[in-house]
């Protein structure tokens, strides 16, 4: 289905980004991976699907490095057909205690990076009259939670960016949509489970149940694989006229 297409997934050395990269590779897309930490392991996992895989280590808080990554992808594969803006970080503190440098980093990595990658990817997509921009927002793009001011602001912002990008390209073959996961058990969330376990003296299992019970009625984590399949749907022909949506996969979190 995606043979001959190239997908660039930011923050794809781990968690949701890696799950989406694998799902798109399984449908035949060439993949550009990005992110920190070990990239040889993720590279091998994605390449197992038989497509071409490249890696660029751009720091998504740096517009110059994002530009270098987009040029690298264009040189390697011709253009980026599918852009998944996924890189993200979290920090938890009340507004009055929120460290300024954490606010700036979250806004840069979780929101501005998507603007930069999108503005650089769009011209080639528009020329080809086919493209998919998929923004990994969060249920926190739809509702708030205490102590997550920067994250919630960035995620509401990326939902807004999604709508405007969709509108500006609405008469073309370029679509833009957001995915809004609830809890997904990745390193980003395990840190929040660990913090709860430590603060309340709970086991990992009890802290996990508490975390899910506070917000997610299904009491189940969404998986990177499930999110990957939603990204595949957005890339399919059936997704041709799905534009500007913020689609939650959140175990009914936002339905409350």
Which residues of this protein are in contact with ligand NAD, per CB under 6 A?
11-17, 34-37, 59-61, 86-89, 109-110, 136, 138, 181, 183-184, 186-189
Half-sphere exposure of 69 (CA within 13 A, CB side): 30
What minimum distance in Å lies between the beta carbon of 208 and ligand NAD?
A: 12
Provide the terminal-to-terminal Cα distance of the chain, rounded to the nearest Å.
Answer: 37
Which tokens in the block code for residue 55?
């890696």
Query: Cβ closer to ligand NAD: 109 or 174?
Result: 109
Per the annotation, the verdict on 151 as an active-site residue is yes
The residue written with tokens 């003296």 in the block is: 201
Nearest to 33, CA basis, from 17, 48, 49? 17
User: How distant is the alpha carbon of residue 64 from its chain centre?
Assistant: 20
Report which secondary-structure segment, H or E, holds 54. Answer: strand 53-56
What minimum distance in Å lies between the beta carbon of 172 and ligand NAD?
A: 26
Query: Cβ closer to ligand NAD: 59 or 229?
Result: 59
Query: Cβ closer to ligand NAD: 15 or 131?
Result: 15
What minimum distance in Å lies between the beta carbon of 137 and ligand NAD?
A: 7
173 with 131: CB under 8 angstroms?
A: yes
Nearest to 125, CA basis, from 1, 230, 229, 8? 8
What minimum distance in Å lies between the beta carbon of 118 and ligand NAD?
A: 14
Query: Cβ closer to ligand NAD: 11 or 239?
Result: 11
**Marked catalytic residue, from 55, 77, 103, 151:** 151
Catalytic residue IDs:
151
């Amino acid at each position: 289905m995606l043979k001959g297409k190239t997908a660039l997934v930011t923050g794809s050395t781990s968690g949701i980004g890696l799950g989406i990269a694998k799902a798109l590779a399984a449908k035949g897309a060439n993949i550009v991976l990005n992110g920190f930490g070990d990239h040889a392991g993720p590279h091998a996992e994605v390449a197992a699907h038989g497509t071409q895989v490249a890696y660029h280590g751009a720091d998504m808080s740096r517009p110059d490095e994002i530009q270098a990554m987009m040029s690298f992808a264009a040189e390697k594969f011709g253009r980026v057909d599918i852009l998944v803006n996924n890189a993200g970080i979290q920090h938890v503190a009340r507004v009055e205690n929120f460290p300024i440098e954490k606010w700036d980093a979250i806004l840069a990595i979780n929101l501005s990076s998507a603007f930069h990658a999108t503005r650089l990817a769009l011209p080639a997509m528009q020329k080809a009259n086919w493209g998919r921009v998929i923004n990994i927002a969060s249920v926190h793009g739809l509702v708030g939670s205490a102590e997550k001011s920067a994250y919630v602001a960035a995620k509401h912002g990326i939902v807004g960016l999604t709508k405007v990008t969709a509108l500006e390209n609405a008469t073309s073959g370029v679509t833009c949509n957001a995915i809004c996961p609830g809890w997904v058990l990745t390193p980003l969330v395990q840190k929040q489970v660990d913090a709860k376990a430590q603060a309340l003296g709970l086991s990992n299992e009890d802290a996990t149940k508490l975390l899910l019970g506070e917000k997610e009625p299904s009491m189940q984590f969404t998986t990177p694989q499930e999110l990957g399949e939603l990204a595949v749907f957005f890339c399919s022909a059936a997704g041709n006229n799905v534009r500007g949506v913020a689609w939650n996969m959140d175990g009914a979190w936002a339905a409350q």
